[in-house]
Amino acid sequence: MKRISAAVALTAVGALAISGCAANGGGNDSGDDSGLVEGSSITAAWNQAFYSMNGNTSFGNATANNNINYLVLDGFNYYDNTPKLIENKSFGTYEKLSDDPLTIKYTIADGVKWSDGVDVDASDLLLNWAALSRALDTPDFDPTQYQDAETGEFTGDLPTDVVYFDSGATPDAGVGLVSQTPEVSDDNKSITMVYDKPFVDWELSFPSPLPAHVIGEKALNLDDATEAKDAVVSAIQDNDAAALAPISSFWNSGFNFTEMPDDAALVTASGPYMITDFVADQYVTLKANPEYKGDNAPNIEEITIRFIPDPLAAVQALQNGEVDIISPQATADIKTALDAVDGITVKTGVEGTYEHVDLQFDQGKNSQNIFSNPKAREAFLKTIPRQEILDTLIKPIAGDDALLRSSQLFVPGAEGYDEAVKTNGSDAYAEVDIEGAKALLAESGITDTSVCILYASNNPRRVNEFALIQQSAAQAGFNVTDCGSEKWGGLLGTPGAYDASLFGWQSTSLGVTNSLPTFQTGAINNMNFYSNADVDDLVAQLNVEFDADKQIDLQLEMDKLLWGDYYGVTIFQFPGVTAFSDRVEGIDPSILAPTIFWNAWDWAVTDSGE
């Protein structure tokens, strides 16, 4: 028998991660006080392969990575599926010591260890600060010659006197506002950070740290974990560029891998699970971390995550019993296919992810850098068949829940959304305007009308969207060409690689500020070289604004500027679908990333699956 239920309704969301598609308690019937059922295993499917254990770099910031990193790297808090921010006190605590200046103390709980038995401590937190604040970075350094031209991945060591952490941090947001080196406690369990200015989302600004001892050992050629940790701390406290250069180089690229690394130290974990096997483009296997003593101890000993880009192939794998859980990008064919499968539960709803097209304001592939021209940008946006995409590809799945999104900042249904749509200028793109686009393109003076669009070429829905855009834009005189790639995520932001991109931003928090790095000059999620001084000023104001009404006013102003700059167009909120076999229980998706994985420690094998 198939069970169908509706997922949680969509609410206001903020922080974003590149999407490839789309609290502790319960789930244990083993009778074992530890919760872990020895020998238990399940398999989940995801549509994009893992490629980095550092999701805080511009290269590694992707849902495909952070789903797994969420389970292997513990942190101070996480969202449940209501969604509510849960403090993870078994990992550590944070305390606001002062409002003026904003002063936060982070303390690691007793007994918290890395999977290799080394204590998690202040050295890990201090390195996290250095990377996420970039306060010690060499000023005005251009890293492009040390990055892969096609993907932006750091591929070589930085010069011996150059410090550069690729976290995309800016000095007016998050930990970027902590310009002074934090104080380390005498017991080496805490750091205290003093913000230069108040920051409204300070609780969300300090994600899971990476192991400082591993980075110190690899970057500084040391063998002893304690010596390596001490060396990292000294390098930071002394602002020693000669030591920080290799440390930052390793932080940028040392945790990037597309198959199981030969060096087991690179998968050192602090979370409930650790990576134990990884076959390129096929699967990652996670096993319960024996050193994990936190509140979120898992029931399942082994979780394998298979990479299945084709949604129909994921359904087939579920039907065949090859996987137990899928959360594919929803299509009409997926809905039909799932209806034919017995012995599963299907949960549907609206996700906190939205589809959009962004235009490259600079360094595009076009010989005339076509979208540096505002008339060309406006012309192209007028050709994008938003309603046709919604009607053709989304309504057959979601029905009346199909949502055309018309704001860059507000989620449909959230406070401020309706007012934004009335005032931001998005109504100019409610319908295709081919004649208007032709006139604007003629006025632009552009002679090279080629527009190469980057998208996931192995994603059927994106292939269909590309075709609809290509056909529509051709009527106005644009020559839309195919920059689709299975490695699209790593290509985002790469100079000269494409002219426009088609993908989804997935929300990871409810923070008011955390979508702002998409639009701020030089910030981590700014993949299209967009820059507007007025937008940057509004970002700076939002970062320190605690009044909810004023936050909305500032966002309304910013949304209008973005549409007025012809930044790009939003298209639709994702319809979500999760399906799982009767062999497993405890699956209860969240609208926020990491969606199905948020409570993986609660998953359990049912009696019917044993």
Q: What is the 3-state secondary structure (H, E, C) of 147-174?
A: ECCCCCCECCCCCCCCCCCCCCCCCCCH
Which among 505, 549, 533 is positioned nearest to 407, based on CA atoms? Answer: 505
491 close to 498: Cβ distance less than 8 angstroms: yes
Any domain includes 523: no
147 in the same domain as 9: no
Residues of the chain with pLDDT under 70: 1-34, 608-610
Determine the pLDDT at residue 7: 33
Of 193, 227, 253, which residue is a domain's last? 253
413 in the same domain as 304: yes
Determine the pLDDT at residue 591: 84
| Residue 58 φ/ψ, nearest 5 degrees | -65, -30
Q: Give the structural domain span for 156.
A: 92-253
417 in the same domain as 344: yes
Any domain includes 364: no
Q: Assign 288 to helix, strand or coil.
A: strand
| Rounded Cα distance, 523 and 516, in Å | 9
Strands 500-507 and 450-454: parallel
Determine the pLDDT at residue 566: 98
68 in the same domain as 7: yes
285 in the same domain as 148: no
Q: Assign 99 to helix, strand or coil.
A: strand
The pTM (predicted TM-score) of the whole model is 0.85
88 close to 295: Cβ distance less than 8 angstroms: yes
Taking only Cα atoms into account, the Rg of the chain, rounded to an integer number of angstroms, comes to: 24
Strands 344-359 and 568-581: antiparallel
59 in the same domain as 10: yes
Determine the pLDDT at residue 515: 84
Q: Which of 180-203 are b and which e, b meaning 16 or more Cβ less than 10 Å from the residue's Cβ? A: ebbebbeebbbbbbbbeeebbbbb
| Residue 350 host element (H or E) | strand 344-359
416 close to 410: Cβ distance less than 8 angstroms: yes
| Residue 386 φ/ψ, nearest 5 degrees | -60, -50
Of 253, 281, 305, which residue is a domain's last? 253
Determine the pLDDT at residue 416: 93
| Residue 387 host element (H or E) | helix 386-389
Any domain includes 143: yes
Which among 86, 344, 120, 316 is positioned nearest to 210, based on CA atoms? Answer: 120
Q: Could you give the number of structural domains in the chain?
A: 2
Q: What angle do CA 7, 9, 14 make, to 5 degrees?
A: 115
Determine the pLDDT at residue 24: 30
Determine the pLDDT at residue 478: 98
Question: 416-467, pLDDT tens digit by residue?
Answer: 999 999 999 999 999 999 999 999 999 999 999 999 999 999 888 999 999 9
| Rounded Cα distance, 230 and 233, in Å | 5
Cis peptide before 211, with omega less than 30 degrees from 0? no
Q: What is the CATH number of the domain that holds 606?
A: 3.40.190.10
Any domain includes 236: yes
Give Cα 361 to chain centroid, integer Å.
Answer: 22
Any domain includes 530: no
Q: What is the CATH number of the domain that holds 159?
A: 3.90.76.10
478 close to 383: Cβ distance less than 8 angstroms: yes
